[in-house]
A and B are shown apart, each in its own frame.
Chain A
């Protein structure tokens, strides 16, 4: 079934086509969301919400982008909404932040004499990268996640985020600079 036919069938609320649509794209949608929100359960919920949104608004889909890009756009917007609401919740969760064991605590690398390749496989350093990505401004975080973690091209990312390729380049450059700097500090402090 080609994309145009699939869209027509989805508009006709064909259950077989709906099933095919979900099964075709759920893996990619889940990964995109997971690499933005960094939480499995939230990613699962947001994947469901993304498909619900897509199915309810399939009539709004225009063929100026691919169905996959349109779906990723919904996924990214859903993830952003989630991040914003999480931030709001965090602001009010004073007690939770006081007793939290993660986030701003320094992460120790178990073996300071480990080689760089060992460190690259080190979960602690991965965690540090994740925490630093979470601190980036929204757009930088999205650009970094889509390009570096999801492997999308600049063009695809620009299309998903509905900005120019130049804007993506600028966002990514700033994100990388911040991350490299903060991780460098982390790396040299712990070795």
Chain B
């Protein structure tokens, strides 16, 4: 079996190319612009969400820190008072504190 000669082959390729060129080109301008607007809006929403989440997380973090600091202060005071009022406490310390 002989292959097609170069001329026949070139003509055939041109013919297929022409056939494909006859396909109407769709206008995708509005679709692309719409998709880009949606994408930008989504990115903007995601950024806003990320900022809000960051603020919320730092607020929670701050609250936890504030609470733990407060708790440790309270605990320290309680321990101090407990130790002062305990039977073996040093009354001179209590007197110094009262002054």
Interface of A toward B, CB cutoff 8 Å: 13, 15, 18-19, 22-23, 26-27, 30-31, 34-35, 38, 40, 44, 47-48, 51-52, 55-56, 116-117, 119-121, 123, 125-126, 129-130, 148-151, 176-177, 179-181, 183-185, 187-189
Known A-B contacts A48-B31, A51-B32, A126-B15; A180 and B4 likewise in contact (beta carbons under 8 Å): yes
User: Which residues of chain A have C-beta atoms less than 8 A from B6's C-beta?
Assistant: 180
Q: Is the CB of B33 within 8 A of A18?
A: yes
Q: Does B20 contact A31, Cβ atoms closer than 8 Å?
A: yes
Whether the pair B8, A48 counts as a contact (CB closer than 8 A) is: no
Q: Within the assembled complex, what's the spacing in Å between the Cα atoms of A3 and B93?
A: 84
Interface size band for B: 20 to 34
Inter-chain CB contacts under 8 Å: number: 99
Pick the contact of B12: A55, A120, A150, A185 (CB < 8 A). Answer: A120
Contact assessment for B4 and A34 in the assembled complex, using a CB-CB cutoff below 8 Å: no
In this assembly, does B47 line the interface, its C-beta being within 8 Å of a C-beta of chain A?
no
Q: Which residues of chain B are near A52, meaning CB under 8 Å?
A: 32, 35-36, 39
User: B12 CB to closest chain A CB, in angstroms?
Assistant: 6
Is the CB–CB distance between B28 and A149 below 8 Å? Answer: no
Q: Is the CB of B12 within 8 A of A31?
A: no
CB of A149 within 8 A of CB of B36, answer: no
Instruction: Determine which of B1, B15, B19 lies in contact with A184 in the assembled complex, contact meaning CB atoms within 8 Å.
Output: B1
The answer to whether A188 and B32 touch across the interface, beta carbons within 8 angstroms, is no
